[in-house]
Amino acid sequence: VKDACKTFPDQIVVGIDALNGQVAIEGWAEITQTKAADLAKQFEDCGVAAINFTDIHRDGMQTGPNIEETGNLAEAISIPVIASGGVSTLDDIKNLIPLEKAGVVGVITGRAIYSGTLDLREAIAVSK
């Protein structure tokens, strides 16, 4: 990651998948003892431009994002965070907006758009 950041400065975004604040690896099959915030700090030190943070308990479930863990991660680092996992309604996006002050700059949603529970144009409009 460090080499990639040197070669492509300000262009590398790294994903961290976590469950209850602990990093998940191997396709989410293994939950490590590493805290997501600690790993994010290491990536920040390497020079990554942003962190894509996914709460794997909520990913694809359309149950709303993990506001608390996303906020905790964003507050622990000084680089931008993109929230992922569970976002399925306009209210979910509205609930993430206060985290912008902590460094949450975007959101990833997929299933909700494909299933029609979230209109992309409305989501963009509400987040401006």
Across 25-46, b (16+ Cβ under 10 Å) vs e yields eeeeeebeebbbbebbbebbee
pTM for this prediction = 0.89
The ranges assigned to domains in the chain are 2-126
- Segment 10-59, tens digit of pLDDT: 999 999 999 888 899 876 666 889 999 999 999 999 999 999 999 886 55
- Domain 2-126 in this protein, CATH class: alpha beta
